[in-house]
Structure 1
């Protein structure tokens, strides 16, 4: 998946055929292929670029530690063909994010009484291996835990017993952590089964870069246990009718590709991990947070740059207000994402009283923008309405928002393209998708369109997209890449597969995307 080489179609076909009963063989062979390809890095030249002096060597020191050779899922099984649930073993965490010295509970169910262990890995670069083993917990006695009935607004809210409580060690750095659940072989000797659970370790130190995980969007699309998400309500896919809870496992991701590494890991390995892998590869001083950690601006105000990554669709209005405050106080904003700030998504507490554990699609961002009004007419009425996101991001969500295309340079003289060699009209193939932004506000002072073109939905229906940059009030800037797939051009780490959708796909790591991102970060970090 490196060297700008197209992903062979037979890999996806192979895995799709295997997904019905057991994906074990496909996972093992494809995981080895991904690791082998990762050893050949297209980022060798970019790695020589002199980086700004970081506030801390924490990330460089962490990545000097040995990575794990075995951290991916090897043996997984779906309950049924076309399903999302893997009930032999599955689990979730009691919190989206946790700080050192705080506790997180792990809630795990096994289909039959059976012992299991939990290996905790921090994802990062680690010499190209992609993760480090932090600790192993167990063995524990696994038992079946009840699938909750469908509740009001079709919510599925588990109330599982905890198998263990983990106090985060003081020396665990901020990052995205995977708990790999592995059963012991059953009594008949049929082997073990695996799944993930996922949580974020955050901190409050001053750092150069704050990377926000798009976990609200992971949960919005999560269909566990069987077709229950914000997109599966009988009344329609865009209305405010459904609630979803973080108190449930992540099922297999149900769009774009058939990727068994998504079981239990949300959308992290699909659409976001390449960004973290690449940042840590180059020693950037990065710290991590959940969407739910951005309800006030204090965390972001301690950082020089804020990155929205991947598919960042669902924002509580307090997140929006926090990021506006950060921009106005001089933090550089990098929307290396698509379909971002699309829906107002209020948090509320769980039935047990735990904060920020339930979300729903409260209404559109967009203010008086025409597509926001169209959504209100077609799918409302909504109880919430957000401001025009174009005045924060520089571009808006428009209709159609789905499609794919090439990312086309229109301002080769701009500093963002320094040392890329890009020329007017030069394209980075397949980088736009599968959702994007466009229609920049014409009255936003200093805004420049640095790339633009047309995306096609299903290879047919055209929609304009635009990538923009505009100055903030204190010498800072706001950049919008206008694509979910930006980080696909940075790296293709172990555990990650290239996605495809709407008859288009990114081609993988590209030295121009890498150089543009270096240019943005060098400017942001001074």
Structure 2
């Protein structure tokens, strides 16, 4: 009997060792959580085998792709509403638009929803810089798309493809991006960080919130959503951005979370930053997720999410450098709401980081409250760098099923910006902490935190832009890197922690 038990243990150890060497996606077991039937049924539909950009041609400055580029008249739209699509091609060429919903779809990552065109291309004008270097396009609409009633909430990419008149001529491609939202109660409300996408957008020629002649951190530059997404100022050396032209930061920083949520059938609905100016939709949901690089918030967003927390909604900041700058919206020149933003001033009340920003880059016309009192941890200086996500409280329930020990590290998961300086909130716990290095040398302390809300809910702060990198690596995704550090991709510990958080948020237990 002892020999039999010994043999069984040996076999168990052998297979356990083999299991531990499998890729993280193969190791992951879906949780038996409450699932969203709409998402499950949607992802049973056939995925697209060809939705990525194949031929992309940046101009000689690398900021745009004038051969084919476009933008939408609104950041988000609901079923039954219409959205205008503006496209320019230089030189003028016929083109088509294929619209895809982004999700799991059996691992393909997208579903073809409709094909529009062909259209006769025209070269539309680059606007002259306006006040505060504003570049606001006023292009003619190529087409108007009315969203069918059966299009589920999600992130939608429109792939623009030129149609050469001669077979031996190359075609060129880029994306447009918009969100279809709804007003239904859901387990998860996924907020895209599109204010930050626009803040860093350099279209057409190095014009962003960060590229005003007065400096990179002041309130001097306005930016408009009425222009294509070109090269992102922060992408230089961070991610292979030609794969993403026109889609903002969604593919590198946010799609791995959306893909993973839909793979596991979570009941998720999507919105933009501008949809969170009031809390009504969020109050219908069990959890709210901030993802990736969520730096720029109108103060009305802050108050909305604050009300959601106080009403019992669980908050998951799977993001870094979040709620850093007060970012007021204003209308476009033709009156469409929430189409222009600028860096109004720092969040942080009177903390050291906010005072430093004011001293170095102010005066600012806007000032926000202490973001740490909402998120649990704050923006710190330096705020960028790279490091390992190091566990400090392995006995906490968020680590159930991970088998982690104090001091275990998830390599490269901190970056390229993060949170630290935890707030003094009753019940707040530091679950992970460590050192990030700016430029590989300048150290800063980061902290991941969790604290209880007032109605048996919680607020979790992962303290890194790269959290979604540990969840999945979908088609069309390239791992980012920065400050001589990089995440390693899907990790079963990150996946299990996220499952635990969502199960507690949805069912009140893991």
- Normalising to structure 1: TM-score of the pair? 0.91
The 8 Å contact of residues 319 and 466 in structure 2, kept in 1 or not, is answered as yes
1:117-169 CA distances to partner (integer Å, 9 max, x unpaired)? 00000000000000000000000111000000011000100000001000000
Q: Which residue of 2 aligns with 1:192?
A: 171
2:167 and 2:115 map into 1 onto residues whose CA distance is 25
The 8 Å contact of residues 100 and 157 in structure 2, kept in 1 or not, is answered as yes
The answer on 1:88 being equivalent to 2:73 is no
The 8 Å contact of residues 450 and 461 in structure 2, kept in 1 or not, is answered as yes
How far the C-alpha of 1:188 sits from its partner, in A, is: 7.9
The answer on 1:153 being equivalent to 2:124 is no
2:42 and 2:448 map into 1 onto residues whose CA distance is 34
| Aligned equivalent of 1:298, options 270, 280, 293 | 280
The structure whose Rg is larger is: 2
2:132 and 2:404 map into 1 onto residues whose CA distance is 50
1:298 and 1:48 map into 2 onto residues whose CA distance is 31
4+ aligned runs moved over 2 Å, structure 1 = 40-49, 186-189
1:257 and 1:273 map into 2 onto residues whose CA distance is 14
2:390 and 2:324 map into 1 onto residues whose CA distance is 24
1:202 and 1:501 map into 2 onto residues whose CA distance is 33
1:146 and 1:263 map into 2 onto residues whose CA distance is 19
1:96-135 CA distances to partner (integer Å, 9 max, x unpaired)? 0000000000000010222110000000000000000000
How far the C-alpha of 1:259 sits from its partner, in A, is: 2.4
Q: Which residue of 1 aligns with 2:196?
A: 217
The answer on 1:338 being equivalent to 2:309 is no
Q: Which residue of 2 aligns with 1:510?
A: 491
The 8 Å contact of residues 103 and 110 in structure 2, kept in 1 or not, is answered as yes
Where do 1:21-420 residues align within 5 Å?
42-51=24-33, 53-54=34-35, 56-80=36-60, 82-187=61-166, 189-254=168-233, 255=235, 256-420=238-402
SS of 1:287's equivalent in the other structure is strand
Q: Which residue of 2 aligns with 1:17?
A: none
Gaps of 5+ in 1: 1-39
SS of 2:455's equivalent in the other structure is coil
1:384 and 1:179 map into 2 onto residues whose CA distance is 36
How far the C-alpha of 1:198 sits from its partner, in A, is: 0.3
Q: Which residue of 2 aligns with 1:492?
A: 473
1:401 and 1:117 map into 2 onto residues whose CA distance is 42
1:506 and 1:46 map into 2 onto residues whose CA distance is 18
The 8 Å contact of residues 222 and 340 in structure 2, kept in 1 or not, is answered as yes
2:462 and 2:447 map into 1 onto residues whose CA distance is 8
2:263 and 2:244 map into 1 onto residues whose CA distance is 23
SS of 1:169's equivalent in the other structure is coil
1:106 and 1:459 map into 2 onto residues whose CA distance is 43
How far the C-alpha of 1:253 sits from its partner, in A, is: 2.9
SS of 1:459's equivalent in the other structure is coil
The 8 Å contact of residues 157 and 177 in structure 2, kept in 1 or not, is answered as yes
1:62 and 1:445 map into 2 onto residues whose CA distance is 42
Q: Which residue of 2 aligns with 1:465?
A: 446
1:123 and 1:61 map into 2 onto residues whose CA distance is 14
How far the C-alpha of 1:187 sits from its partner, in A, is: 4.7
How far the C-alpha of 1:45 sits from its partner, in A, is: 3.8
1:279-310 CA distances to partner (integer Å, 9 max, x unpaired)? 00000000000000000000100100000000
Q: 1:49 to 1:258 in 2, by over 3 A?
A: closer
1:472-525 CA distances to partner (integer Å, 9 max, x unpaired)? 000000000000000000001011100000111101000000000000000000
1:442-474 CA distances to partner (integer Å, 9 max, x unpaired)? x31110000000000011000000000000000
1:180 and 1:372 map into 2 onto residues whose CA distance is 40
SS of 1:499's equivalent in the other structure is coil
1:304-325 CA distances to partner (integer Å, 9 max, x unpaired)? 0000000000000000000000
1:406 and 1:244 map into 2 onto residues whose CA distance is 34
The 8 Å contact of residues 186 and 192 in structure 1, kept in 2 or not, is answered as no
Aligned residues: 483
Q: Which residue of 2 aligns with 1:18?
A: none
| Aligned equivalent of 1:451, options 432, 440, 445 | 432
2:103 and 2:210 map into 1 onto residues whose CA distance is 31
The 8 Å contact of residues 43 and 514 in structure 1, kept in 2 or not, is answered as no
Q: Which residue of 2 aligns with 1:22?
A: none
| Aligned equivalent of 1:421, options 394, 400, 403 | 403
2:477 and 2:280 map into 1 onto residues whose CA distance is 32
The 8 Å contact of residues 240 and 478 in structure 2, kept in 1 or not, is answered as no
2:300 and 2:23 map into 1 onto residues whose CA distance is 40
How far the C-alpha of 1:41 sits from its partner, in A, is: 6.0
1:13-42 CA distances to partner (integer Å, 9 max, x unpaired)? xxxxxxxxxxxxxxxxxxxxxxxxxxx962
How far the C-alpha of 1:252 sits from its partner, in A, is: 2.5
The answer on 1:483 being equivalent to 2:464 is yes
Gaps of 5+ in 2: 1-21
How far the C-alpha of 1:78 sits from its partner, in A, is: 1.1
2:330 and 2:167 map into 1 onto residues whose CA distance is 45
SS of 1:257's equivalent in the other structure is coil
